[in-house]
């Protein structure tokens, strides 16, 4: 499940408790607080095992707690691409850079590894982008090229995907 939580203390526990209370097995939680989705919310990926007949009840309990269920089931993004960005990534609103891909609905930044050598030096980041199709990946990379141009980043793309 991909969940959207309010960015405030206790929200992760509020999301996990209904799963546990219903006898679900929480296998993995991916919660990177530094990578917010904007608007005072952040996204969390949770891999769970729960009997299918309890899923609808679980979704209702999560919604009652103000937790938005963004996705359920198998991962829908099947094309994966890694790129590297170099520049003043943090100082030029890293969240905005990620949001421009994520807001398309057909591509998402699913992982990011960041290296910050010093406060005034350039930052480098590896982004993993997933998309629905090859064509969508091309569109996402086009968006990223435009962001790199606007924010004066060096974009290093792989030769193929």
Domain limits, the chain: 2-71, 79-156
CA angle 96, 101, 107 (to 5 degrees): 155
Q: Residue 90, Cβ neighbours under 10 Å: how many?
A: 14
- Nearest Cα residue to 157 out of 101, 84, 80: 84
Tokens of 30: 């991916």
**pTM: predicted TM-score of the whole model, two decimal places:** 0.54
The most distant pair of C-alpha atoms in the chain lies apart, rounded to whole Å, by 54
Instruction: Give the DSSP letter of residue 70.
Output: E
- How confident is the model at residue 100, as a pLDDT? 92
Q: Do domains 2-71 and 79-156 have the same CATH topology?
A: yes
- The list of the chain residues with pLDDT below 50 reads 35, 161
- How confident is the model at residue 144, as a pLDDT? 95
The fold of 2-71 is: Alpha-Beta Plaits (3.30.70)
| CB within 8 Å of 80: residues ≥ 6 apart | 110, 128, 129, 130, 161
Query: Which three-class secondary structure state does DSSP give residue 108?
Result: strand
Which DSSP helix (H) or strand (E) runs through 15? helix 11-21
Q: CA 102 to CA 37: how far, in whole Å? A: 9
Right CATH for 79-156 from 3.90.550.10, 2.10.25.10, 3.30.70.260, 3.40.50.2000: 3.30.70.260
- How confident is the model at residue 140, as a pLDDT? 94
């Amino acid at each position: 499940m991909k969940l959207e939580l309010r960015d405030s203390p206790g929200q992760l526990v509020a999301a996990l408790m209904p799963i546990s209370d219903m006898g679900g097995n929480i296998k993995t939680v991916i919660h990177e607080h530094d990578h917010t989705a904007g608007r005072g919310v952040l996204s969390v990926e949770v891999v769970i095992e729960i009997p299918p007949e309890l899923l609808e009840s679980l979704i209702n309990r999560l919604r009652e707690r103000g937790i938005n269920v963004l996705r359920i089931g198998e991962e829908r993004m099947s094309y994966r691409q890694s790129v590297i960005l170099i520049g003043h990534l943090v100082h030029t609103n890293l969240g905005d850079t990620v949001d421009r891909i994520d807001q398309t609905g057909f591509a998402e930044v699913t992982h990011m590894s960041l290296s910050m050598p010093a406060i005034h030096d350039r930052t480098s980041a590896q982004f993993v982008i997933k998309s629905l199709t090859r064509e969508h990946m091309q569109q996402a990379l086009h968006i990223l090229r435009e962001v790199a141009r606007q924010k004066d980043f060096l974009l290093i793309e792989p030769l193929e995907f």
